[in-house]
Amino acid sequence: MLDMNPHVPLPRQMDLGDELERHARCGRCPVRDFSICAAQAENELSDISRQIMFQTKATAFEEGARADAVWNVVSGAVLLSKLLQDGRRQVVGIAAPGDLLGLAMQATNSFTATALTPVTLCRFDRARFAELLDRTPRLMRRVFARYASELAQAQDHMLLLGRRSAEEKVAAFLLGQRARWAPLHGLSARVDLPMTRQDIGDYLGLTLETVSRTMTKLAQRKIIAVIPDGVRILDVDKLSSIACL
């Protein structure tokens, strides 16, 4: 059963019907096979987790608030952002199904998570998740691999914000989004973009106008086609060449 209130404490006791439903829900999870959950039996994680749904633009958790959970993205896309000292927003990531949030184990959240689409997140109580990590080496290895992947993504993002042209940044972003959704849908010519052009600009360090102008140029060159809620990549090789990949 999906919970709409993220502040309700995780129940310690359940009747048998609720317990069976939670275990069955883990078995039906669309991201189980390629997320950290693949390392555990269904009942090991269902006992310390619950699914929560967030509507578009809802905040799952806020920067600076007490961090008492680890979150696994089950469906939808989540915008991760930080506020700079001058009040500007920096988008630090876009989480896709299978991504794990809150791995840093800090006392407070280091960013705000906002639903770009209707989102389902699996919430793990942080203390109980840490206990499970301590006694389960295979889960620890899986989490370590996920953390290493996120570190690589962060390094790639730093490169994007460095000495790259606007065209190189946008091309790399589109190919990156295509790869992020591949575990769920396979590599596709269609790249869904649930975020706004402003969101993309805040992620790439570009203005909204620059993002729009660059997309238009790529479309005019028949490298991409702009479609509702995304783009279709018409020439992967050329886009990869522009992105220097």
Task: Please state, rounded to an integer, the average pLDDT across all residues of the chain.
Answer: 84
How many structural domains is the chain composed of?
2
Residue ending a domain, choose from 151, 174, 207: 151
The CATH number of the domain where 116 resides is what?
Answer: 2.60.120.10
Contact 126, 70 (CB under 8 A): yes
Position 9 in a domain: no
**Does 231 reside within a domain?**
yes
* Helix, strand, coil share of the chain (percent; to 5): 45, 25, 35
Torsion of CA 51, 54, 55, 56, to 10 degrees: -120
Whole-prediction pTM value?
Answer: 0.81
Whether pLDDT at 20 is above 60:
no
Q: Is the pLDDT of residue 49 over 90?
A: no
Measure the CA angle with vertex 139, ends 135 and 145; round to 5°: 135
Tell me, yes or no, whether 25 and 93 share the same domain: yes
Same domain? For 113 and 34 the reply is yes
Which segments of 58-179 are extended strands (E)?
59-61, 69-75, 78-83, 89-95, 100-101, 112-115, 119-125
Q: What is the CATH number of the domain that holds 233?
A: 1.10.10.10
- The phi and psi torsions of 9 (rounded to 5 degrees) equal -60, 145
Contact 214, 167 (CB under 8 A): yes
Residues 116 and 96 sit within 8 Å (Cβ to Cβ): no
In sequence order, what are the residues at sequence separation of 6 or more whose Cβ sits closer than 8 angstroms to the Cβ of residue 179? 187
Dmax (CA) for the chain in angstroms is: 61
114, 81 Cβ separation under 8 angstroms:
yes
Q: Indicate whether 199 and 141 sit together in one domain.
A: no
- Evaluated on CA atoms 15, 17, 22, 26, the torsion sign reads positive
Q: Do 121 and 228 have their domain in common?
A: no
Whether residue 1 is contained in a domain is answered as no
Higher-confidence residue: 207 or 136? 207
- Rounded mean pLDDT of 221-244? 95
Percent of the chain with pLDDT over 70: 87
> Is residue 214 in a domain?
yes
The residue range of the domain holding 72 is 16-151
* pLDDT tens, position by position, 154-188: 777 777 777 789 999 999 999 999 988 888 777 88
